[in-house]
Structure 1
Amino acid sequence: MLVHICCSVDSHFFLEKLQADYPQEKLTGFFYDPNIHPYSEYQLRLLDVERSCKKLGIDLIEGKYDYENWLQAVRGLENEPEKGARCEVCFDKRFSVSAEKALEMGEKKITTTLLVSPLKSQEQLKRVGDAFYEKNGVEFIAVDYRSGGGSQDQSRVTKEEQLYRQDYCGCIFGLTMQREQQEKLMDEMFSPISGSILPASIEERIAMYTLRNQLEDDNKEYKIIKQKFLNYREFNFKVTKGKTNVLDAYALSYSTLPRKRAQGKVEYNAQNIHYFNREEIKFITLEFFNEQNQTQYKTVKELIFNPLSQERELDFRAKINDTNYDLSPIIVMQEIPEGKLTINLDSKTYEDTKEKLIIL
């Protein structure tokens, strides 16, 4: 039997149940999910599914990530609600490719781990699956592992196995509507030009779950816990001298401007920190930054594209301000400019939760 897999949270419990109910069947996992966005989230879910299938002794095949074709398939349905017409088209596409893969392998049965997802309609899935049975001759096995306490058992398995538990189904359209309803920043879509790993980002999770896999290979014990913290994202930033002369400048993490814009000039210097006359803004030279952090950046542009890790940057910020709670802008420049400056800084701090791995 070919089993279409959407994510480890659904697949691990689902595959365990299938192994018990269909002991005569050789199960093969098929990870085909071009709806998942961004691509880093796809990579993260695949990473966890690979680990899950390995633990269960199930072969896994990765399908093609043909995201552009998926977008074409759902064109015009972008604003459909969860469990609506867009989901049905999405199922059609994934089931069609899964059926083709099953026929290619000589399999006559397929099913999907989406059947245990609380975000999806079992009736809708069964309807689409039955249609493909009539069209392709591949039988769709519509098992119900949700009812009779199944959802509670699934949650237990997820916790025991320390699986990655995503909080959205996968596609950008569903994610957008979900974050709007939650009045929450869609920080999954941030990808800094520097390639930095931001707090609670998908990239941070990939690094953490990769480490988890390494610890398991080395038979080392660990726990994954949740941690509440103050998160930060910078949307845009620039320093302008006069009307049009944009200068190379870098704002340290957790730099905020409530009004997003400030005009003024640097008034004085104390211990290599240059104080602006508006909004508690501070300037430092790249030379001072290098001295304090034992780095060798030659230009501010180099710092922009290859910054310090967030941990080192926050340590430096605390050192300058003598506190861990300062949110005033700290700006690094090649030289401290004279005359009138305009600072534009759009950024956001917000309460958030992230996962943390503890080695026991």
Structure 2
Amino acid sequence: MQKLQQNYPNERLIGFFYDPNIHPFSEYKLRLLDVKRSCNKLGIVLHVGDYNYEGWLEAIRGLEHEPEKGKRCSVCFDNRLEKTAQEALKIGEKTITTTLLTSPKKSLEQLEKALRAIAQKYELEIVAPDFRKGGGTQEQFTQAKEAMLYHQNYCGCLFALGVQREQQQKWADELSSPLRPQILPASIEERTVLYEKVIALEANETPFKLVREKFLNYRLLRAWVKRSDKEVIPSYILFYSTCKKEFIKTNVEFIAQGVGFLAKEEARFISLKTFNTLANTDYKTLKEMLQNPPTVEIEIAFRNTYLKSIVASLTPLVILDEVKMDSYELFIQSKTYQDIRENLVLIG
């Protein structure tokens, strides 16, 4: 958008954000947030289209397994550029372009062909500059880094995400969301909170930097605890709880200070009373804890306080209303993996 302003100083630029291909919806909202931020900085009016995800899915039906720059991308371009053309006519504009032209992952030829076809259909003009040549792509990355824009690490659509994560041999945690209202590390929700803070700091002209941190991430996918009578009982699995075997039958060998030590997987059952004492919380029941969970920071602080470990502990810690000498069935399905997150650093 900066390049367009430089190359066409006498033209008025109007942004149109129409990206129903972006999945999940939380990622869509995060990208829209940062586009609004950029448009505000550059003095560009922004129009926002509907998030018609179902309509987009219908448009690309049968092309789900097409490669990047294949037929699915062509249909996606047509779908979004048609809405762009309709919006242009609606507001009285005669020329359209697309920021996709700057993406190194997209075909310029494919995009220009789509632009010309849509422009001809609606009797519009197009602008299709090649800002990638002459080191333009590297310049784009440099400017984005200096401006601390949100770095999108996949195209946007569900199908491209799946292929890209498979090639990276990385789990696609973008496709999982917590059942309980909790913001998880390096999640889309955490990044949204971060960039909302960024916008507030910029508005107050507070100097800051975004710095990256490599860390061990964790996602709990599914878990339950059953007593000897096979009844599932309320339980809360703390962050970083990891089992080598997802399902075990075991028993509490002994109880000490409200903590039951299990015979397998180094697992421990912790009474809610003990958790409240060490975590400085005041939950009355497990049901209340499940509905209004502690933050991940509180969970990790409890783990560190209780275990007093100098290493990153993955011991399964399970909170129960009360711990009894009994046999149990424990199921924990989780993912533990290397990840990167951004943190805010205030300067001055």
User: TM-score, normalising length from structure 1?
Assistant: 0.94
Tell me, yes or no, if the aligned pair for 1:77 and 1:85 is still in contact at 8 Å: yes
Partner of 1:227: 213
Cross-structure match for 2:268: 282
Question: 1:349 and 1:134 mapped to 2: Cα distance?
Answer: 52
Say yes or no: does 1:69 pair with 2:55. Answer: yes
1:313-355 deviations in whole A, cap 9, x for unaligned?
1010011111152111011001114432110101111111111
Match of 2:284 in 1: 298
1:17 and 2:3 aligned = yes
From 116, 136, 145, the equivalent of 1:150 is 136
- What per-residue deviation string (whole Å, max 9, x for no partner) do you get for residues 28-72 of structure 1? 000110000111111111111111111111111111111111111
SS in 2 for 1:208: helix
User: Which residue identity does 2:336 align to in structure 1?
Assistant: T
Q: Equivalent residues in 2 for 1:90-169 (5 A)?
A: 90-169=76-155
Q: What secondary structure is seen at the aligned counterpart in 2 of 1:297?
A: coil
Structure 1 position 243, deviation (Å): 6.3
Name the counterpart of 1:247. 233
Letter in 2 for 1:349: T
**Secondary structure class of the residue paired with 2:64:** coil
Q: How far did residue 155 of structure 1 move?
A: 1.1
Letter in 1 for 2:326: G
Match of 1:4 in 2: none
Say whether 1:357 aligns with 2:338. no
CA shift, 1:289, in A, is 1.3
Distance in 2 (CA, whole Å) between partners of 1:243 and 1:70 is 49
- Report if aligned partners of 1:82, 1:174 keep a CA contact under 8 Å in 2: yes
Question: Higher mean Cα deviation, 305-314 or 160-169?
Answer: 305-314
Q: Distance in 2 between matches of 1:213 and 1:95?
A: 29
Cα distance in 2 for residues equivalent to 1:37 and 1:256: 29
**Aligned partners of 2:168 and 2:246: how far apart in 1?**
24
Aligned residue among 26, 29, 50 for 1:43 = 29
Kindly indicate whether the alpha-carbon contact (under 8 Å) linking 1:252 and 1:331 is maintained by their aligned counterparts in 2.
yes
Whole-Å separation in 2 of the counterparts to 1:269 and 1:135 = 75
Partner of 1:176: 162
- 1:130-171 CA distance string (max 9 Å, x none): 111221111221111000111111011111111001100100
Q: Percent identity?
A: 48
| Count of equivalent residues | 346
- 284-293 vs 88-97, greater mean Cα deviation: 284-293
How far apart are the structure 2 equivalents of 1:305 and 1:256?
22
- Note the aligned Cα RMSD (angstroms): 1.1
Say which SS state the counterpart of residue 97 (structure 2) adopts: strand
Q: Which residue of 2 aligns with 1:6?
A: none
CA spacing shift, 1:175–1:243, aligned 2, 3 Å: farther
| C-alpha distance in structure 1 between counterparts of 2:341 and 2:156, whole Å | 19
Residue 204 (structure 1) shift: 0.4
**Structure 2 residue 327 is matched with structure 1 residue 340:** yes
1:197: which partner in 2?
183
Are the equivalent residues in 2 in contact too, given 1:241–1:247 (CA < 8 A)? yes
Secondary structure of residue in 2 paired with 1:353: strand
The one-letter code of the counterpart of 1:131 is A
Q: Secondary structure at the match of 1:265?
A: strand
The residue aligned with 1:258 is 244
What is the rounded CA distance, in whole Å, between the counterparts of 1:124 and 1:302 in structure 2? 54
Scaled by the length of structure 2, what TM-score is found?
A: 0.97
SS of equivalent residue, structure 2 residue 156: coil
2:46 is matched with which residue: 39, 60, 65? 60
CA distance in 1 between partners of 2:72 and 2:132 (Å): 23
- Alpha-carbon distance in structure 2 between the residues aligned to 1:348 and 1:143: 44
Deviation string 1:192-248 (CA, Å, 9 cap, x unpaired) is: 111211000000000011101111111110000110000001111011123631111
- Structure 2 residue identity aligned to 1:88: S
Whether the 8 Å contact between 1:263 and 1:341 is mirrored in structure 2 is yes
Query: Which moved further from structure 2: 126-135 or 108-117?
Result: 126-135
Q: 3-state DSSP class of the match of 1:226?
A: strand
Q: CA deviation at 1:254?
A: 0.2
Residue 193 of structure 1 contacts residue 305 of structure 1 at CA under 8 Å; is this kept in 2? no
Contact preservation (8 Å) 2:260, 2:324: no
Residue of structure 2 in register with 1:84 after alignment: 70
Aligned to 1:215: 201
3-state SS in 2 of match to 1:191: coil
Where in structure 2 are there 5+ consecutive unaligned residues?
A: none
